[in-house]
A and B are shown apart, each in its own frame.
Chain A
């Protein structure tokens, strides 16, 4: 019961996104992350070396994931917490619903968690009669709008201030209708007040985890608002839902990765709140949850280990890739059609929902390489998108026109003499057809191009034919 997948209609999504003026205006903000990241990186000479260190730590962890998971669950138990295992989204949802039911929970607060989107947790909770309140301001806003997040760090980046005011007026009906909500400060203040009450009265708090530390059995969340903290320390029960690749061996290892996380995401050196939670409250603790549960989710990760897409398991969900992606900048996150947008979404989505449903995404890339250039964990994103294209090609999933076009090209490319002959003939003909203007407004078989752009006419005889004519050399 996850978010509805619209990835197969990616091209339609693109069309809608490009014609959505409001969205296009909002997307201009996505570029701000670029300069901020760049400034933060410039201020830290060790940044690139830290990326290498972070990659090595994750690679080591993944190669020993079974053993680190064992160590981690031992430590969680020692600290008085409980670990649950879920093979699939459905199992994870069932565990959460079971915990809620056993405790008669009526209301649950949620820290920002992409995993909870992946498993469709909110819909399941609502279906079970449990109120699920998103507390991250961006997530709260889109929850009011009934939308999915459009960016993994800034989920409401596609929403304007005017939208938020309208949503708040619609949802917060108990407040005086003549109140002024024209400024962002007022909107924030209103959200703070409304959510403060929810924090204090929730039965269960559910968060994700940026990291799970085997050394101490600790879960770590990284926020700027403090909502994750209020979610996890106020209610009687704290539930962490995290996928298995979030494991990191030690606190020293966490320090390495933390140094590249916030800088890559928002350009901050550290997020405002980086919080380490280990088990429920101890004897003598005046505050904190009485119960601490961790649900470890597989949902396709174990299958990625040891394979072509293993590198993707290093992802720390910073969002730098999408912040630098020309495709993301053009259409925003919803166009990708599921939970994870941008380059990381293009690689991860087919792994999690299958290449038949998710295969459009790795094709919709120019391989410009900016994502790989900025990824703090040095994930070779274009290479993995190419792997998906190889899988599709092997399984004949690419469109017939593309396959036959390529086969036609390949036929000639493998036969140099024929190639030179045919291309020379073809280009001379095309040149004759186009020489008056120097370009074509339309060409058969090139509609995808000429619909939007003129197509240059060739200069005439090919270079190789001219070279041979000049030099008389035969090789």
Chain B
């Protein structure tokens, strides 16, 4: 008798738990509108999400595609998205031949590096120096380090916290443009700066 009375309630309860969503996954567009892909892997099934706003959910341990629009994303994920840090930036500054003096164009671009750092509440700056393949390896190692240190010193002089800057020199190991040995190449005489 009691069973009869609570059976519908039990069925409702089980139905509700069967059909309730355990997790939701949504691919978002990159700044340029493109997107990469993610795969939801469960014991039962895998679901590939490979375009902006492609979404999948897991119910009862099983993954399946689902329709989600921009408004729903904002409703569910608005707080998480609002907490997103300023995205990391990447800069390349170029140098005169066999020297730690910036080219005129890169001297101007230094200002945008500095501005980018200043707009962040906290920051970490990585400066990595490089050379072309002209000259000996020890010389280029030294030169790549001098280039990185020159940028660091300039940033510190302009008020950036030295503790938040790391420097390294890679000699001619990581060429931006592959060349033979003993070749002068303006695009390889550079520092790569990451600000995050």
Partners in one complex: no
Residues of A whose CB lies within 8 Å of any CB of B are: none
Residues of B whose CB lies within 8 Å of any CB of A are: none
